Structure 1
Amino acid sequence: MSETSTDRVTAAVLIIGDEILSGRTQDTNLRDIARYLGVLGVDVAEARTVPDVLDEIVDALNALRSRYDYVITTGGIGPTHDDITADAVAAAFGVALEEHPEIIAMLEARFGDQLNAARRRMARVPVGGTLVKNPVQGPPGFAIGNVFVLAGVPQIMRGMLEDVGPRLRGGRPVVSRTVRVEGSGEGAIAAPLEAVAKAHPNMSLGSYPFFTPEGYGSNLVLRGRDPAEVEAVVGELIAALAAAGVTGAHEPMV
């Protein structure tokens, strides 16, 4: 079955923060978002990391939201001066920021008379935006248009994703299978793998080498949306490898 434009739903991830680019903080959000969306049939087709610079966030956001069905941002919605994601999203959509009354109420309940100007920054939402629930701690994120703005702290971000998922138009989920080849390098695998990949342009076939004390080889990962095609291509690939003299290709036991 040929894949049509309506079969594929795409998303981009925009990771915001100087701390990611400096290496002080290791990003795990991209991995978690891709895994979560994949189950829903939404492909993460691009990811970018940008610093805490307003114009760069705006430019990246406008480029991504015009190209993909959804954009998920992480980071930059805290109380400090360099948390400027809300400002950038408002600028990208050409709307003003306003304090959301529900967030103000949450902050007042938590901080009381300690609700200072810095903390009130976390209540700012672009006009027309809706809230993204935060079941972990702190104020919620927000959504506007096809953009979802989430926290950068991984635990909080994952909690917010649970409110994002039901709002997305899911595509056909991707089916993934693995063919394991032991004792052969990528040089021997490349030609049959390429031939099978070219014969099935709607699928993704990748080679991922491994090296262990017991030996070496590659895991060949096949991904597609038609389960019957994926099943057939597994057999086709194993046969093509055998014809090229690569023996022992098999699906690993789950």
Structure 2
Amino acid sequence: MTRTSEAVTAGIMVIGDEILSGRTKDRNIGYIAEYLTAIGIDVSEVRVVPDIEEEIVAALNALRARYTYVFTTGGIGPTHDDITADAVAKAFGVTIDIDPRARALLAAHVGEANLNEARLRMARIPAGAELVANPVSKAPGFWIGNVIVMAGVPTIMQAMLDDVAPKLRTGKVMLSQTLPANAREGDVGGPLALIAKAHPGVTIGSYPFIEESGRPNTNLVVRSRDPDHLAAAVADVRRMIEEVAAARAAGA
């Protein structure tokens, strides 16, 4: 893993009609975003696209031109609608064929006699791509340009992400601290905006939720890559929370 002082960004592209129909609930976006954030890569955009080649190509070309990396999930299995590899090859303008390295991995896993047409689809890799290891079921993902193509099955995707992570260029890790406001979001929105304005190097988010008791509350999340900036903003947020609580108590 190579650390850089510059921001490193990523887009995530989830491919599959089953996600868009709601038949399959995505379990990968949150995992990838949390994983990348922890190592210093900012996830800036997520797209979900259908199993339509031109839609995949268009979305991929847009994302790869915009971000340092693009991570895709889904569409590299053995069935007729697994068209991600073909779409990626088309986006990069390269050929695609059965890769001897991928074929050997599958043959060792299932046996030469069981390498039917469906399984061989999983050995089709765009020209010039590097393989991404799959220790779970051996059918590899691949990495071409700044695009990392992974399986949609969460356990396999997670193993593939572990394989590529040490090879990624990363930036300075985003630090964060969460403070419960013990108040409704509307009670802290005004003063929170003033604090955010006073700390331009910091991002502050407010996330309302309902406690188990049924009482509304708000989590305030302060983020910065600079620990001193983070500490200064957190101090102001703490002070604001105390002032809101005191004002509420005085009016009770």
What is the aligned partner in structure 1 of residue 58 from structure 2? 59
Q: How does 1:76-87 map to 2 (within 5 A)?
A: 76-87=75-86
The one-letter code sitting in structure 2 at the alignment partner of 1:124 is R
Aligned to 1:176: 176
Aligned to 1:47: 46
Deviation for aligned residue 1:107: 1.9
Aligned counterparts, 1:210-221, within 5 A: 210-214=209-213, 215-221=215-221
Q: 1:195 is aligned with what amino acid?
A: L
Aligned AA for 1:47? V
Change over 3 Å in CA distance of 1:240–1:87 after alignment to 2: same
Corresponding residue of 1:251: none
Gap runs ≥5 in structure 2: 248-252
Say how many residue pairs are matched.
Answer: 242
**Residue 89 of structure 1 pairs with residue 92 of structure 2:** no
Distance in 2, matches of 1:143 and 1:190, equals 44
Once residues 113 and 245 of structure 2 are traced to their aligned partners in structure 1, the CA distance between those partners, rounded to angstroms, is: 71
Q: Give matches, 1:119-198, under 5 Å.
A: 119-182=119-182, 184-198=183-197
How much is the aligned-residue C-alpha RMSD, in angstroms?
A: 1.5
C-alpha distance in structure 2 between counterparts of 1:231 and 1:212, whole Å: 27
8 A contact 1:8–1:171 mirrored in 2: yes
Q: Deviations over 1:51-80 (max 9, x none)?
A: 000000000000000000000000000011
Q: Which moved more, 1:34-43 or 1:60-69?
A: 34-43
Please report the TM-score for the alignment, with normalisation by the length of structure 1: 0.91
% identical equivalent positions: 53
Runs of 4 or more above 4 Å deviation: none
Q: Kindly provide the CA deviation profile for residues 154-182 of structure 1, in whole angstroms up to 9, marking residues without a partner as x.
A: 00000000111111111000111011111
Structure 1 position 106 matched with structure 2 position 134: no
Unpaired segments ≥5 residues, structure 1: 249-254
How far apart in 2 are the matches of 1:186 and 1:10? 30
Secondary structure of the structure 1 residue equivalent to 2:157: helix
Mean Cα displacement is larger for which, 228-237 or 48-57?
A: 228-237
SS in 2 for 1:136: coil
Distance in 2 (CA, whole Å) between partners of 1:203 and 1:135 is: 40
TM-score by length of 2: 0.92
CA shift at 1:116, angstroms? 1.2
Structure 2 vs 1, CA of residues 247 and 137 (structure 1 numbering), >3 Å: closer, same or farther?
farther
Residue pair 1:192, 1:241 contacting (<8 A) in 2 also: no
Q: Is the 8 A contact 1:142 1:148 kept in 2?
A: yes
- How far 1:6 moved relative to its partner? 4.6
Task: State the match for 2:12 in structure 1.
Answer: 13
Query: How far 1:190 sits from its partner (Å)?
Result: 0.3
Q: Distance in 1 between matches of 2:209 and 2:246?
A: 17
Distance across 1 between alignment mates of 2:56 and 2:22: 19
Cα offset, 1:113, TM superposition = 1.3
Select between 162-171 and 10-19 the one with higher mean Cα deviation.
162-171
Residue 181 of structure 2 aligns to a residue in which SS? strand
Aligned residues of 2:202 and 2:233 also touching (Cα < 8 A)? no
Corresponding position of 2:73:
74
